[in-house]
Structure 1
Amino acid sequence: MADCFINIFLNDERIKQLEAAGLGGEIKELGGKKAIQVKATDKEQKKMVKGFPGLAFDADNACVLPEAAEKTVFDIVVNMKTLDVMKFAIMKIYNPLAGKAPRSAQR
């Protein structure tokens, strides 16, 4: 696996937030929509696939996260004023225990 991208599609409000953070130059046209692409390593990609079953990557090795995770990543991008946030963001969006039953205490 090579590095992948998370596509975050933008509305007018998000575009204003990015421009205020000095990231207006990072906005791209993807499929006729405005978006930013956050780069993730193959290790982070494996965690996202494990944490979000059914997450699909396109021919360009890009995906769209579920809404709550996408909002978290976008907020981190705006607050940190950089697209290089996945090392930090993966800790916020990836829960390795999701879907697992809690263990009972052994005595």
Structure 2
Amino acid sequence: MADCYINIFVDGDKESKLSEAGLAGEIKDVGGKKAIQVKASEKEQKKLVKGFPDLAFDDANACVLPETAENTVFDIICNAKTTDVMKMAIMKIYNPLAGKAPRSAQR
């Protein structure tokens, strides 16, 4: 596995937020749609796959996150004014304990 990308597709509202953050130049054409791409390392990709088992990667090793996670990453991008946010974003969207039963305290 190599680095992967998270595609965040952009509509009019998101495009204006990106412009306000000075990131309008980051908008690319991905499959005929406007999107920004967030680079994720191999380690971050493994966490994404573990946290979102239904996540599918295309031939370009890019994926689209579920809506709530995508919105969280987008908000972080706008606040940080950069697309290099995966180290911070992974802490917000990845829950390593998701789906595991809570342990009872042993006494």
TM-score by length of 2: 0.99
Shift of 1:54: 1.2
Alignment of 1:1-107 (within 5 A): 1-107=1-107
Distance in 2, matches of 1:54 and 1:20, equals: 33
Number of aligned residue pairs: give it. 107
2:88 is paired with a residue of what secondary structure?
helix
Give the AA of the match of 1:87. Answer: K
Deviation per CA, 1:39-95, whole angstroms, max 9, x where unpaired? 000000000000001110000000000000000000000000000000000000000
2:71 is paired with a residue of what secondary structure?
helix
Structure 2, unpaired ranges of 5+? none
Distance in 2, matches of 1:75 and 1:68, equals: 11
Q: CA RMSD in A?
A: 0.4
Q: What's the % identity of the aligned pairs?
A: 75
Q: Runs of 4+ in structure 1 displaced over 6 angstroms?
A: none
Structure 1, unpaired ranges of 5+? none
Distance in 1, matches of 2:76 and 2:104, equals: 35
1:45 is paired with a residue of what secondary structure?
helix
TM-score by length of 1: 0.99
